[in-house]
């Protein structure tokens, strides 16, 4: 395998793995937020803002992966 | 990335003007002219434009008040609202047809340099607001639970704005890249899919940036 092929594979892996885990985490977060809203519709506003913040913090991990992938792709 | 953008011309030979900078100038000009226009003819019974802007500002006011409380949100409203308005308009500017395709105008937030700039501004804003709430209290925060937390908490202060900048850049740049790829695939029709999603994501990213900044601010200016 040429080094270019390895770099391309590494870029694909970086984005794939860093999408998988946060996606699971975000799914779990959204699930429990929806359950809480269904149980207590009065608190929907507070739950929603906390939900958006936690989703954004998880999203950051994916973005780091994306960044690494772009840096690797630039080297091919 | 930021280094990839083409330099259109330089001011004094050092300040490189790229497509993003031109877009920022345009955004600032449009926002200023719009605000001055509405301000010059304020009415008791608002017209369409005044109504629109008032609704936006009122929404922002309520949003920040919910996060920070009345007193603090009034005190820091100018900075946080400016941040929100600038980021949301910058994000949406990428959706104007033809903006990403030329070198002359590009969505500002799709460049790491611009978002890093916003991050640096946020960093200084947070530190200065913290210092103005009491120097002793400011330094106490770094050793608050235990003394050995000091290096981590100092590092945290730098990581916060960096992650804000990277998040905004990554999201907007990712959207732009996907739209561009879809444009290459099928110029008419295909990019619409991503652009419709972008309408949601652009607003969300601006919201997240402002929201996280105000939460960090709330932490920094907290008085026991």
Per-residue model confidence as pLDDT tens digits over B159-168 = 999 989 988 9
Chain A closest-CA separation from residue B177 CA (Å): 11
Interchain pair B66, A67: CB under 8 A: no
If pLDDT is split at 50, 70 and 90, which confidence band does B224 have?
A: low
Report DSSP state, residue B10.
E
Residue where the block lists tokens 């259109």: B8
Specify the pTM.
0.84
Say how far apart CA A49 and CA B9 lie, in whole Å.
43
Considering chain B, what percentage of its residues have pLDDT values greater than 90?
18
Interchain pair B167, A66: CB under 8 A: no
The reply to whether A35 touches chain B by the CB within 8 Å rule is: no
* ipTM for the assembly: 0.70
Surface of A (47-66) touching B: CB under 8 A: 49, 52-53, 56, 59-60, 62-64, 66
Say how far apart CA B151 and CA B143 lie, in whole Å.
9
- Does the structure show a pLDDT above 70 at B114? yes
If pLDDT is split at 50, 70 and 90, which confidence band does A74 have?
A: confident
Candidates A47, A51, A54, A56: best to mutate against B (most CBs of B within 10 A) is A56
Say how far apart CA B59 and CA B90 lie, in whole Å.
19
Contact (Cβ atoms closer than 8 angstroms) between residue B168 and residue B113: no
* Nearest residue of A to residue B216, measured between CA atoms: A53
What Cα–Cα distance (Å) separates residue A22 from each residue in A49, A57, A67, B46, B183? Answer: 19, 10, 15, 46, 28
* Nearest residue of A to residue B170, measured between CA atoms: A63
Domain residue ranges in chain B? 7-220
Residue B42: left if φ>0, alpha if ψ -120 to 50, beta else—which one?
Answer: beta
| Tens digit of each residue's pLDDT (9 = 90 or more) over B177-205 | 888 888 888 878 888 888 888 888 888 88
More confident residue, B41 or B29: B29
Radius of gyration of chain B measured on its C-alpha atoms: 20
The reply to whether B163 touches chain A by the CB within 8 Å rule is: yes
pLDDT of residue B2: 44
Contact (Cβ atoms closer than 8 angstroms) between residue A53 and residue B211: yes
Sign of the Cα torsion B74, B75, B81, B84 reads: negative
> Picking from B8-17, B126-135, B155-164, which range would have the lowest pLDDT averaged per residue?
B8-17
- The mean pLDDT value of chain A amounts to 89
The reply to whether A70 touches chain B by the CB within 8 Å rule is: yes
If pLDDT is split at 50, 70 and 90, which confidence band does B1 have?
A: very low
Domain count, chain A: 1
Q: What is the CATH number of the domain that holds A37?
A: 1.20.20.10
Residue where the block lists tokens 């903006």: B99
DSSP state string for B93-121: HTTSTTTTTSSS---GGGSHHHHHHHHHH
Cα atoms in the 13 Å half-sphere on the side-chain side of B164: 30
The reply to whether A43 touches chain B by the CB within 8 Å rule is: no
Cβ neighbours of B208 in A, within 8 Å:
52-53, 56
- A1 three-state secondary structure: coil
Write the residue in A60, A62, A70 that is nearest to B163 by C-beta.
Answer: A60
Interchain pair B1, A53: CB under 8 A: no
| Tens digit of each residue's pLDDT (9 = 90 or more) over B18-32 | 888 888 899 999 999
Domain that holds residue A30: 3-74
| Cross-strand partners of B16 | B10
């Amino acid at each position: 395998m040429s080094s270019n092929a390895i770099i391309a594979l590494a870029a694909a892996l970086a984005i794939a793995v860093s999408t998988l885990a946060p996606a699971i985490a975000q799914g779990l977060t959204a699930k429990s937020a929806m359950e809480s809203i269904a149980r207590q519709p009065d608190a929907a506003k507070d739950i929603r803002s906390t939900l958006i913040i936690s989703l954004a913090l998880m999203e950051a991990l994916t973005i780091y992966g994306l960044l690494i992938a772009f840096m690797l792709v630039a080297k091919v | 990335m930021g280094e990839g953008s083409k330099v259109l011309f330089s001011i004094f030979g050092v300040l490189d003007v790229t497509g993003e900078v031109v877009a920022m100038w345009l955004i600032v000009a449009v926002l200023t002219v719009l605000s001055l226009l509405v301000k010059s003819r304020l009415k008791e019974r608002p017209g369409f434009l005044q109504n629109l802007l008032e609704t936006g500002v009122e929404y922002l006011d309520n949003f920040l008040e919910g996060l920070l409380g009345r007193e603090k949100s009034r005190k820091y409203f100018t900075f946080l609202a400016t941040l929100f308005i600038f980021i949301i308009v910058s994000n949406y500017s990428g959706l104007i047809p033809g903006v990403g395709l030329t070198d002359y105008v590009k969505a500002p937030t799709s460049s790491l340099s611009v978002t890093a700039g916003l991050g640096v501004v946020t960093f200084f804003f947070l530190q200065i607001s913290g210092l103005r709430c009491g120097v002793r209290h400011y330094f106490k925060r770094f050793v608050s639970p235990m003394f050995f937390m000091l290096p981590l908490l100092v590092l945290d202060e730098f990581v916060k704005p960096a992650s804000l900048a990277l998040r905004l850049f990554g999201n907007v740049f990712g959207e732009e890249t996907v739209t561009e790829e879809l444009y290459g695939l099928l110029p008419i029709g295909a990019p619409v899919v991503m652009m419709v999603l972008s309408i949601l994501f652009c607003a969300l990213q601006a919201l997240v940036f402002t929201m996280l900044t105000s939460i960090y601010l709330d932490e920094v200016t907290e008085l026991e």
